[in-house]
Structure 1
Amino acid sequence: QQRGIELGRGTVVDGNAIIQLHDVDVSKNYTIIVTYGGTTTYFANETVGPLEVLKLNVSLTPSVVNNTAGNVSIKVDVDCLFEENVNNGTVEIYLDDGETLIG
């Protein structure tokens, strides 16, 4: 298997190495080559396998921040487990009939 560009490297601690990849296209499948260089105790090894990059899930938490008659303001927290702040996209609010856009 021909190796491409090295994406990252990490030190093995307690049987695991964590390598963070940045600027990876989401909703895409890759084939990766993973190598372990070995030590005086362990042989080197290499494996080829799939890497599926998925979009991140978000949670939505609405709350009323102003309840003046005829002028209600709703704050919607858009949270992601793996990021501090979600900064893109649009939030829409519908009545529970699923059709009427109210904000």
Structure 2
Amino acid sequence: MHGSSDYHIIRGVCYAVSNRSAAIVAAAISALLRHLDVSKVKIGVGGALIQFHPIYHKLLEAKLTDLAPLSTEWELVPADEGSARGAALIAAVAEKMKL
């Protein structure tokens, strides 16, 4: 029989995984922001994790606040159909670069 301690363990593991994921994504975004060297940018975020996870968006914002360059003003914005648009954008850039 499962007790409340099982619930707390599972909840802790889920939080740790979510927090680590947000840290990795924030590190990648931060690296891109440093490379792009822009003063203001909107970052499109989407997918099931952003849409359905109760605190992932806040975790990502907190981690990005810690890691992003202070000279860059950024904003996370919802990106509907992000996968399809992202794939189309990558295809267009690859075509333009003759990759």
Normalization by structure 1: what TM-score? 0.24
- The structure that is helix-richer by fraction is 2
- Whose relative contact order is higher, 1 or 2, with alpha carbons under 8 Å and at least 6 apart? 2
